[in-house]
Structure 1
Amino acid sequence: MQPIKVDALPNRLRNILTTSVIVCTPGTADCTTIDNVQVDTGSQGLRLFASALPATLALPAMAGAGGAAGTGTVSGACAVFGTGYTWGAVRTADVRIAGQLAAGLPIQVIADPTLPTVPADCASSGPPMMTQAVLPVNGILGIGLFAADCGSVCTRNALPRWYYVCDAGGGACASSSQPLASQVTNPVAGFLENNNGVIIELPSVPDAGARTLTGQLIFGIGTQANNTLGGATVLRVNAQTGYLATTADGQTWPRSFIDSGSNGMFFASATLAQCGLWYCPPAQATQTATMTGVDGAAVTLSFSIANAQALFASSNNAFDNLAGVSTTMFDWGLPFFFGRRIYTAIEARPTAAGNGPFYAF
């Protein structure tokens, strides 16, 4: 069990769930604790800002695909999120969280000075999230549905906006394939035990929000007495994309997911008043939607949407009724987690409900 929290951030970004991780030079006791790392079930892999790492902490750079250590190449990684991209070198570290160890884990070091130039195709992916003025955390802890961030498709193909082989002197980078063992990896998948998924457990939040909120990140599903599935509803997702379907307002969104790294619920509504990218109904509104797994299992849920401008005008940081506009997907973001115990099962890892990937709550 690892403590997690929602609290104030420097630029007043709300609904950001964070925790701490311990990062070590592989095979040594040279370690540092990195606080204020965002907990994200919508991505895979640990990504830390170079500025958050002590200069004395030696994390070996991964050689570019096709190169060996010492050949003058470095593996670069581009990670694309809904709000922008991160770019940096792939390095290896021993990562410890709540007593669990992922040894020799490939991680992304964001804005690594070894690779100062962002490849053009990565830079075209959206706004850069390359400074803590933009992304006011020390990194992202991706503990989603998959073990690696790209998977087998990147072992066979040099795809844009994924992996690159770069000149260690800061020169040009070219798209490359990437062996599975060298891809940025979900730390939970690297644990020796309790490695088939995670549970996020957060308390309920009042309609007006809460200034701070604490909960638990629990590793493993059905591996210990405190992480059994019990009577949770299991919703299986597409094994390649991680999507399930959500139906709301008479429309079905096949690109739907549950994501602790999104700070609001994001969906399309023809009835809710908008204020920019957010919904701002004059009075709190109730919405209904149905989630359906790939095996046909379904659950219908009601949730509240408040006026985002009024929420942001308060001093609170955790809201279960914050929502914004998306016309391409249905994103069950962090507000959905409050007052629930939500399971995220990793692909191909066995549980009492069968192999992942699936969500349960």
Structure 2
Amino acid sequence: MQSSNTFGRTFSVFALIVVTALLAGCGGGGGSSSSSGSSSNSPSAASNQVTVTAAQGLEGVANIPTVSVTVCAPGSTSNCQTINNVLVDTMSYGLRLVNTAASQVLGSLAVETDSSGNQIAECSLFADGYMWGTVRTADVKIGGETASGIPITIAGDMPSSAPSSCTGRSIGGAENTASAIGANGILGIGVAPYDCGTFCVDSARDSNYYSCPSGSDCTQTTVALANQVTNPVAKFSTDNNGVVLAMPSVGSTGSSSVSGTLTFGIGTESNNTYSASEKLTTDSYGDVDSTMVNSSYSGSAFFDSGSNAYFFVDSSLTICSDDRSFYCPSSSTTRSVAVSSYSGTSTSSTVTMTIANADTLYGSGNYAFNDLAGTGVPGTVDIGMPFFYGSTVYFGYDQTPLGGTQTPYVGF
């Protein structure tokens, strides 16, 4: 880990061109790393729900919500593997798994190829590194829902290292192992149906994707939408227009473990009726407009379960001495950010963020905190996992790339 207090690892997935999340936390949830056979997702109230747990996890990182995901060879109901400790990330799009975590089913997942028969690989950029691996086709099952034959990324399975056009755009090293990520994979369920969209369709120079003859000598290439790494929820046969993440409240000193519910679909079942008081339209990748109340700087904000803290810039807050990624005020305090619809409409709300001393929180021995905050990027407010405790947050999907009319939004 980056530091001894293990809150660290400023880490988040984001689309290569649409750089939306620059600081976030990453880690794993409780349970074993993997098992074969049918799904072992925790029992939940309905087939369109799955249990989300934030606990000590694989690497002891705070505020890491995880689920179990079952991956099958396309069309098979028996050649499957259930993979636990997969990070739930509302600001990335698509399923990315570490190759060793998916080892039992990996040989049955065909690598996607281009028109010349060359392997397709993807460079997924993170805040502190990159994920590099093949794009493969799989059936993905979560709870009682299935996305059939969708592209996913398998990290760390390439015979050669990532090309310089990938590594040169990263501020850190490879994140291709469970220990490096802190989880067995990342489940991107943000508002976009595809991880790169038209950027990777129109320009090889702007693409996350690579054509790799014999798995090496990789060069950037364009990839059609249908062949891009895909948000599994958007490809469910039903309950595919969004997700609802509901987590219980935690006290000011945190909790050792909490479990909530991820519900698929919005307004499609009796258990996912929209009931939020606030609804903000976002851009295609989940950003809204924001203004920090205390300093009045304006920019963007996003609601990111893949970030283990609130991340923003505030020079008046004391930085922790052990891990300078986090704030350590002498006593608990608050900061507020005004968030409004990306479209520029008058719809707006205020989010109040509580900030406690990160060193003190870690000393409690807990792993779920609603008051953990860290340093961010000027002009950007990352409303991370602390916001989700005691909240029900809705992410409505951008369905226009799929021929629908719904545009993206977040509700809370």
| TM-score (norm. length: structure 2) | 0.82
Written as runs of structure 1 = structure 2, the 5 A alignment for 1:139-178 is 139-160=185-206, 162-168=208-214, 170-178=215-223
Aligned to 2:124: 79
Specify which of 41, 61, 64 is matched with residue 90 of structure 2.
41
1:346 equivalenced with 2:394 (yes/no): no
Aligned to 2:251: 206
Deviation per residue, 1:250-293 (Å, 9 max, x gap): 33342211100001000011321111111000000122221111
Looking at secondary structure, tell me which structure has more strand per residue: 1
Deviation, 1:304, is 1.1
Aligned to 1:107: 152
Structure 2 CA distance, aligned partners of 1:217 and 1:237? 20
1:245 equivalenced with 2:289 (yes/no): yes
Gaps of at least 5 residues in structure 1 are: none
Q: What amino acid is the match of 1:272?
A: L
Structure 2 CA distance, aligned partners of 1:334 and 1:116? 35
Specify which of 338, 343, 347 is matched with residue 290 of structure 1.
338
3-state SS of 1:87 partner = strand
Gaps of at least 5 residues in structure 2 are: 1-48
Structure 2 CA distance, aligned partners of 1:13 and 1:104? 33
Q: What amino acid is the match of 1:180?
A: L
Structure 1 CA distance, aligned partners of 2:397 and 2:103? 31
Deviates more, 1:286-295 or 1:215-224: 286-295
Deviates more, 1:75-84 or 1:338-347: 75-84
Structure 2 CA distance, aligned partners of 1:242 and 1:252? 20
1:274 equivalenced with 2:319 (yes/no): yes
Structure 2 CA distance, aligned partners of 1:231 and 1:56? 40
Specify which of 72, 80, 103 is matched with residue 54 of structure 1.
103
Q: Is the 8 A contact 1:76 1:115 kept in 2?
A: no
Displaced runs of 4+ in structure 1, greater than 4 A?
none
Aligned to 1:189: 234
Q: What amino acid is the match of 1:313?
A: G
Q: What amino acid is the match of 1:39?
A: V
Aligned to 2:32: none
Q: How many residues align?
A: 350
Deviation, 1:160, is 4.7
3-state SS of 2:216 partner = coil
Structure 2 CA distance, aligned partners of 1:318 and 1:231? 23
3-state SS of 1:133 partner = helix
3-state SS of 1:221 partner = coil
Structure 2 CA distance, aligned partners of 1:210 and 1:159? 46
3-state SS of 2:370 partner = coil
Deviation, 1:355, is 1.9
3-state SS of 2:100 partner = helix
Q: What amino acid is the match of 2:92?
A: S
